[in-house]
Amino acid sequence: MAGTTAEDRRSPARKIGNDDYSLRRVPREARYGFGSMLLQWLGQSGSLSQFVLGASLGIGMGFRDAFVAFTLGAVTLEVVIFLIGLAGQREGLSMTLLTRFAGFGRNGSALVSLVIAISMVGWFGVQNGIFGESMRSLVGGPIWLWCAISGVVLTALVVYGFKYMMWLAKIAVPLFFGLVAWSVISTLSQHSIVDLMAREPTAPVMSIPAAATIVAGGFMTGAVCAPDMTRYNSKGWHVLLQSSCSLILSEYIVGLTGVLLGHLVGTKDVTHIVLSTSGLAGLVIVILSTAKINDWNLYASSLGVVNFADTVFGKRLHRAPVTLVVGVLGTVLSALGFLEHFTSFLSVLGVAIPPVGGIIVAEYWVARRMRGDLDRTRPSGTLPERLPTWVPATLLVWAVAFCVGYFVDAGIPALNSLLTAFVLYTALGWAGLVRPVGSSELEGRNS
């Protein structure tokens, strides 16, 4: 079984789930083939919110301009996903664990893990709350009940790890897109596609850079966290092809369909069209839309907590019980409606994540100030015995890039912060100013 080791089988925590190599490399024999991983990628490529995104662009610009905006956004995301995801695939490491050896060192990695853990469990709860509201509008009942049901089911799934999330993707992805295609095609077939493409905006005109900002910024956090998934890829070229297929489906098919729907109804509120089949089909669409994306929010959060606890407290936690705790927390907060008041805070955390990706790319592929130890240990499937304790230059770069992303309005904030981090870290690395301070022993992490 992928994700299962002799140590897992001996541990009592193994009874409730899988650790999924949370603090080690994923061995080659535990990797998955092209088809299975492609379904996981496609599972991230479409949701009801993506139709709304397309419609938002559609009411503010023509179809041709929307196509250009989606292209710019998709190309930006693909470059980020491939460079970061390929590093994760080569090393078999999750994003938070990779940061230990790709620029941040031991304590910097702990800070990254904390940001990821809070952000992802927060968005897990927010998405869970949206699911509760959708279910109330479809079938009635209290929001808190639907939040509780969804949260418990997804938490139980993620506790058992990547293998079971893979099975969810195999069921959810074909069914979701099949039902959505049936609903949307039945609506658009009653109208001239050529006429819809030629319609003028009905809202204030949106510029192409502004639209590309929305497209690229909306999934930048997911792009930076790509190693959490790509560490299970068996080949590097799979990462490029699978992520490209995902973005083509997400941006060009789902997104541009949303543009047409926006032109059709003159508003960004187009979910009622996607759910126009109503009844059981509409209900299944809502359930699958939440499940196939929100499980990854919880998964990334659990990996972040495990890495944080290990680096700060020296406690090697099993990922499964960690998932149980953070899943219950996110579920309770969503059921109480508590997280609705913290979406602005979560958005601020989201600005802090793209620079992490820029630093990883700069260190791993360009500066290579700390990569040598990874190169030496990769063939044996182990991790370096020691790692830097602090890397002050990295923390400075992270802080500056965050400020650029948060305070500079021009361009794409998420991309601005990522590029700032990449350029600054590369410059400091080439100048010999990326100097680790202290050294920490990595005890027992290869067993």
> Is 3 within a domain?
no
> Is 399 within a domain?
yes
> Is 418 within a domain?
yes
- Answer with the residue of higher pLDDT: 424 or 269: 424
Q: Give the DSSP H/E element, type plus range, for residue 238.
A: helix 236-247
Alpha-carbon separation of residue 277 from 170, 183, 191, 302, 380 (angstroms): 23, 6, 17, 36, 54
Q: Which domain holds residue 115?
A: 28-441
**pLDDT at 12 > cutoff 60:** no
> What is the distance between the alpha carbons of residues 150 and 152, in angstroms, rounded to a whole number?
6
> Is 12 within a domain?
no
> Is 135 within a domain?
yes
pLDDT digits (tens, 9 = 90+) for 46-100: 777 888 899 999 999 999 999 999 999 999 999 999 999 999 999 999 999 999 9
pLDDT band at 446 (very low <50, low <70, confident <90, very high): low
- Answer with the residue of higher pLDDT: 270 or 145: 145
> What is the distance between the alpha carbons of residues 362 and 404, in angstroms, rounded to a whole number?
18
pLDDT digits (tens, 9 = 90+) for 220-265: 888 999 999 999 999 999 999 999 999 999 999 999 999 999 999 8
- State mean pLDDT over 193-211: 89
> What is the distance between the alpha carbons of residues 256 and 54, in angstroms, rounded to a whole number?
6
Total domain count, the chain: 1
> Is 235 within a domain?
yes
> What is the distance between the alpha carbons of residues 101 and 283, in angstroms, rounded to a whole number?
45
Q: Give the mean pLDDT of the chain.
A: 89
Three-state SS at 32: strand
Mutual angle of helices 343-352 and 392-407, in 10-degree steps: 130
Q: Give the DSSP H/E element, type plus range, for residue 49.
A: helix 48-58
> Is 199 within a domain?
yes
Type of residue found at 78:
E
Q: Which CATH number is 279's domain given?
A: 1.10.4160.10
Question: What DSSP character marks residue 432?
Answer: T
pLDDT band at 445 (very low <50, low <70, confident <90, very high): low
Instruction: Name residues whose C-beta falls within 8 Å of residue 410's C-beta, 6 or more positions apart in sequence.
Output: 416
> Is 39 within a domain?
yes
How many other C-beta atoms can be found within 10 angstroms of the C-beta atom of residue 348? 14
pLDDT digits (tens, 9 = 90+) for 325-334: 999 999 999 9
> What is the distance between the alpha carbons of residues 306 and 427, in angstroms, rounded to a whole number?
32
Total-model pTM: 0.91
